[in-house]
């Protein structure tokens, strides 16, 4: 029972690493999409965000399952530590890899956040310029229409 539980924990860690690798790949795609703020493919950006959301949901489910299983076998493993030493070392190595990937993903997320902020600032500036241009054109149109309504003026020709 304990050996199979440890196998499941180890398998869970391996799946977590696979999902984290997929998240890293999505982060790279997102970086490519956001690298030029003047020509961002918004549909592709949305797709990467959706995919990452699904992967994160899977990761959370794996974490919850791992934690509940670990809580059940923690005491037994502690009392039989020498019996499962090899498997514990493998799991520790996997946990180190998960931690390293987690730090890498966090750094990539910060980088992508800055790129997204740059894109949104650029888009906001374009909207403001467009809004100002539209307002200026509307004011010109309104002013020109008001000139049509000026009644004729009587000019006195006397000195």
Q: Comparing C-alpha atoms, which of 24, 29, 37, 47 is closest to residue 114? A: 37
Over residues 117-148, the pLDDT tens digits come to: 988 888 888 888 778 888 788 777 777 676 66
pLDDT digits (tens, 9 = 90+) for 25-52: 999 999 999 888 778 888 998 999 999 9
Overall CATH class of domain 2-131: mainly alpha
**Res. 63: pLDDT tops 70:** yes
């Amino acid at each position: 029972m304990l050996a199979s539980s440890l196998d499941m924990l180890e398998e869970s860690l391996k799946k977590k690493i696979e999902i984290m690798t997929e998240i890293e790949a999505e982060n790279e795609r997102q970086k490519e999409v956001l690298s030029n703020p003047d020509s961002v493919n918004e549909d592709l950006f949305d797709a990467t965000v959706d995919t990452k959301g699904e992967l994160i949901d899977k990761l959370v489910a794996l974490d919850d399952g791992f934690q509940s299983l670990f809580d059940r076998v923690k005491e037994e493993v502690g009392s039989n530590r020498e019996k499962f030493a090899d498997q514990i070392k493998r799991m520790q190595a996997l946990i180190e890899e998960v931690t390293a990937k987690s730090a890498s993903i966090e750094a990539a997320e910060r980088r992508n956040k800055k790129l997204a902020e740059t894109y949104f600032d650029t888009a906001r500036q374009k909207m403001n310029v467009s809004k100002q241009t539209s307002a200026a054109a509307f004011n010109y149109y309104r002013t020109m229409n008001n000139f049509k309504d000026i009644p004729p003026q009587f000019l006195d020709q006397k000195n």
